[in-house]
Structure 1
């Protein structure tokens, strides 16, 4: 039997497909055995591929001059179904294969990999069976020395078919290409790549990675020094000073946001965002959001809102007239904006507040929406970058918090600016519209609470920066530090004795999740810290009492609508149920514990393999009680994933979580 390997697709023009190095003869009876024989026959070609992962296709074609052209245009989609291990070759080939023909194709992929943020000259290849999945490909990539410190959870892979001339632009554009999704099989991903073509992927490292060799913010090695400081310096070096009135123009801002090395997470576009929001980098932003709902309004607040309404709703001939009238109203309320220039530049802001060289509010004014070339929010984002350029590298332990206000016509937008490895600006609440009707008490109340919350927040930020040395006196630190900023809470109240326990963060295992590992300062024990919008600590405590959940150590509400959950960290031998070798009888034990949870009056809501962890001894733990709650009360949250995860009928947004749903998912 004559075979050919597809692993040399990109070398077809240089090699004779009929040469002995590309084709060979085999004599064997069954497809399953054939895989082993093929691997043994060509050990160097298939050294990185297990025999079970060799995918074989029947392909009869004369070994003549037309073969190379045929192979050059052949794709997997044209080959039909692969051969199964149980098939006998006598069934596959009903008639004896003819002499002088090619009989089989062994599909093995040589995937060429580029790195987002680097040049086209930096690439390597990964040989892998086409029947393998995305996880295996990421693990193979991780074996390369460039990625030895990068968790696979922090890798995004994009399929690209860009011509060489356009490759450089592709590598510098964030998100360019077709994002490969969890669970995809490589044969399906590359089934349109011709036999004479080349499968290509671009590797994008997300910003939460802890890799010192390959920091996400600048995509280049940093060998020593403070990692946060180095990443911030690297980002700023790639982003030379630019006048915000120019960089805030839609075309200019769009160009920046498409560049993986230069983009600023700000909601434009919404998929380019930091996992850790500004509300978890500094408490002032979360407290502002809480006050927007609970601030107690006084007569002075109401008088100010009426004055602000008059100033904001007026029609002005020029922007300066609006700035003057609105500023007068704000001054009467204790918000004293000044007009100042950014240090070492001629860039003048419409309004700001600072203390000792630390700017803690930036205001960008436009007379009306759409009457200037620069988009006001984009321009304000650029002002935050330029106003923090000097201090951000010198203050690696600080998020450099700052309120960003955008005033255009009768509207005010509230945003928060902060630094991690790069600057980020986040919308904090719905914009206020001050041209409401005089009888509209709801809008009056909303405006009064927002402005009262803003005044409180600015006072807090002023006190925060007053505790620091003047910006001119701060010298850069060079001592090694954290790989990136973690959320600001560094202590929790023990559920056992209400004692305050300090902890230190260690790492963030999944870049896309607000889940962290750390150690307690009192005894050095490993803990898991997560930040969520909802959580049933009662269901967690019940499962912990049943010895099927980690011990819950702390649970508390923090500003901004967040809950901080602290629990024992499980040992590293715990793996998701899907990766374990748990016996069928063990499912009876899991079902029993689930029934005990239901009998206790609670549902879990998200029973799936990743939320059941199993160790080497067969002991299991149920985790992730974000959706859990009381029976007949707990409802599914918005955006329930039903595309990638099987769920029973009725398990959809806003519906009651049933015990039957838990049982069905198990």
Structure 2
């Protein structure tokens, strides 16, 4: 990476140029403001999901935007962070067919659903009416029954929807049966109709979440739901959450064809290797569709339990909704010593046999989200050697753990408390570091800058790069020592590359830094 040429980097000059404004800029919470704006500007899902409307509203400065990755700037926050049901759905899809306990009735319903879905129909209504019964045999009542809804002064009728009883409310309260755990939309084929079925369902979900009867729910839940999109003989499942006034949607499965594959194109194993003994590709295909629908039904049941058992938060100072990563094991091999000097990690010392596993568990209490970093949070850690430790919890796609520990041992990085890939949050790395409280007028001392420069030289001599040496990735502690906090791009020299979407417009990078560059 470009940072490797230290002679081209003047840390003293860069520090003065970066200034304090780059670090201390903050984005105030706009949850209530965004919801109020949405209530004033929202349209019906069928109107709001048209291409002409999305062309105007799908922008980062529009409250109506659904963060679904279209355009690419409307992505980034992973819904797996906020609720386990989406990870559970993936696990269920990957399980062996033998362990799914599919019944003969499941196979029959899947067969009818596939047969009817592959037909041509004169209208969408005809398709809707014909495929509804076998689909509801899997997913339950109203999964594909059109019922009128009224949300945020707008009436709409999804092609199918299932409500969830919410334990926050009493049976006679308006919000008791308002939340939708499933929204379904049907088209007669891909590209037919005025809009994409997924995008129309996303708009219906957004309308539901901003309904005034759900104000209490919105303040303590990410409001998880599933979206089922059907376009002719294709079906897709997405997940949706609502966080900080923003609807977030991610496609969990692609549009899966319901047309059985030809034998020549099938990957179905032969009779001897087939775990269920299926002798045709078509039969295997029926089983896979049955598994998809049964997995969705099981997760919808799980959402029903989640909403029914919901209670009001007891700690007003806790972040809500918060990530679904509540704890970790302290004995995971990361550097736990605090003095900034080289030495064996505290976690590498064996724990006494008498200490039970729960004594190694570090519990996290989330306090706030860091506005300028969408998947970073401030939390308090207790247990496993931590007592009220303020920390930063980051969810990232990769982390340079070795470089982080190298720099911490030289006193120029935040203490690394945990660094591990976690399947339950979408296979992201969870990186937890001790919180560094930088004051508004913090300034790095000359000795601190020199210490950082020497540490960087040592890092490069060890054939590592930091990769993102900017002011926003440093904090100044109370002694004037700058400490590095972001090692996402760190790794072995010559093996790391800058991302394809490197921001070369608003950021002054070192000479040689460019998209795809090494």
Superposed pair shares fold, TM > 0.5: yes
Q: Indicate conservation of the 8 Å contact 1:311/1:329, yes or no.
A: no
Q: Indicate conservation of the 8 Å contact 2:58/2:71, yes or no.
A: no
Distance 1:446 1:283 in 2: 28
Aligned to 1:366: 187
1:320 aligns with 2:159: no
Report 1:383-394 matches (<5 A).
383-388=204-209, 389=211, 392-394=214-216
Out of 427-436 and 563-572, give the one that drifted further: 427-436
Q: Indicate conservation of the 8 Å contact 1:217/1:261, yes or no.
A: no
Residue 252 to residue 245, structure 1, CA distance change in 2 (3 Å):
same
Q: Indicate conservation of the 8 Å contact 2:69/2:75, yes or no.
A: no
1:619 aligns with 2:443: no
| Deviation, structure 1 residue 553 | 1.1
Q: Indicate conservation of the 8 Å contact 2:473/2:486, yes or no.
A: yes
SS at match of 1:153: coil
Alignment partner for residue 296 of structure 1, among 92, 96, 110? 96
Q: Indicate conservation of the 8 Å contact 1:313/1:410, yes or no.
A: yes
Aligned to 1:339: 145
Alignment partner for residue 380 of structure 1, among 201, 213, 221? 201
TM-score of the superposed pair, with normalisation by structure 2: 0.68
Distance 1:521 1:340 in 2: 49
Aligned to 2:361: 500
1:566 aligns with 2:432: yes
Q: Indicate conservation of the 8 Å contact 2:395/2:429, yes or no.
A: yes
Distance 2:56 2:366 in 1: 36
Distance 1:455 1:270 in 2: 32
Aligned to 1:36: none
What's the RMSD between the two structures over aligned residues?
4.4
Aligned to 1:267: 68
Residue 594 to residue 274, structure 1, CA distance change in 2 (3 Å):
same
Out of 268-277 and 553-562, give the one that drifted further: 268-277
| Deviation, structure 1 residue 608 | 3.7
Aligned to 1:281: 82
Distance 2:480 2:73 in 1: 40
Q: Indicate conservation of the 8 Å contact 2:181/2:300, yes or no.
A: yes
Alignment partner for residue 221 of structure 2, among 398, 402, 423? 398
Residue 483 to residue 452, structure 1, CA distance change in 2 (3 Å):
same
Alignment partner for residue 440 of structure 1, among 265, 289, 294? 265
Alignment partner for residue 465 of structure 1, among 295, 304, 326? 304
Q: Indicate conservation of the 8 Å contact 1:366/1:408, yes or no.
A: yes
Aligned to 1:551: 415
Matched pairs, number: 433
Q: Indicate conservation of the 8 Å contact 2:20/2:441, yes or no.
A: no
| Deviation, structure 1 residue 432 | 2.6
Distance 2:469 2:293 in 1: 42
Distance 1:641 1:257 in 2: 21
Aligned to 2:8: none
5+ residue gaps, structure 1, are 1-132, 140-150, 155-208, 211-215, 220-230, 658-666
Out of 445-454 and 496-505, give the one that drifted further: 445-454
Q: Indicate conservation of the 8 Å contact 2:444/2:481, yes or no.
A: no
| Deviation, structure 1 residue 510 | 3.6
| Deviation, structure 1 residue 333 | 5.0
SS at match of 1:393: helix
Q: Indicate conservation of the 8 Å contact 1:575/1:615, yes or no.
A: no
| Deviation, structure 1 residue 552 | 1.3
Distance 2:491 2:18 in 1: 34
Give CA-to-partner distance per residue, 1:338-365, whole Å, 9 cap, x none: 4152455874332233443353111100
SS at match of 1:607: coil
Report 1:539-618 matches (<5 A).
539-556=403-420, 557=422, 558-573=424-439, 580-582=444-446, 586-587=449-450, 589-598=451-460, 602-615=464-477, 617-618=479-480
5+ residue gaps, structure 2, are 1-16, 166-176, 269-280, 333-346, 352-356
| Deviation, structure 1 residue 529 | 1.0
Distance 2:400 2:64 in 1: 37
1:645 aligns with 2:508: yes
Q: Indicate conservation of the 8 Å contact 1:248/1:375, yes or no.
A: yes
Out of 278-287 and 454-463, give the one that drifted further: 454-463
Out of 389-398 and 640-649, give the one that drifted further: 640-649
Aligned to 1:515: 376
Distance 1:570 1:618 in 2: 12
Alignment partner for residue 486 of structure 1, among 322, 325, 329? 322
Distance 1:607 1:257 in 2: 32
Higher relative contact order (CA 8 A, sep 6+): 2
Residue 399 to residue 152, structure 1, CA distance change in 2 (3 Å):
same
Residue 611 to residue 451, structure 1, CA distance change in 2 (3 Å):
farther
Q: Indicate conservation of the 8 Å contact 1:313/1:409, yes or no.
A: yes
Distance 1:153 1:364 in 2: 39
Residue 458 to residue 575, structure 1, CA distance change in 2 (3 Å):
farther
Distance 2:388 2:240 in 1: 34
Residue 541 to residue 442, structure 1, CA distance change in 2 (3 Å):
farther
Aligned to 2:274: none
- Larger-gyration structure (1/2): 1
1:419 aligns with 2:242: yes
Distance 1:340 1:446 in 2: 29
Alignment partner for residue 349 of structure 1, among 135, 149, 158? 158
Residue 515 to residue 317, structure 1, CA distance change in 2 (3 Å):
same
Give CA-to-partner distance per residue, 1:32-74, whole Å, 9 cap, x none: xxxxxxxxxxxxxxxxxxxxxxxxxxxxxxxxxxxxxxxxxxx
| Deviation, structure 1 residue 288 | 3.7
Distance 2:246 2:483 in 1: 38
Distance 1:620 1:307 in 2: 65
1:238 aligns with 2:40: yes
Distance 2:463 2:136 in 1: 55
Distance 1:138 1:629 in 2: 25
SS at match of 1:466: helix
Q: Indicate conservation of the 8 Å contact 2:366/2:378, yes or no.
A: yes
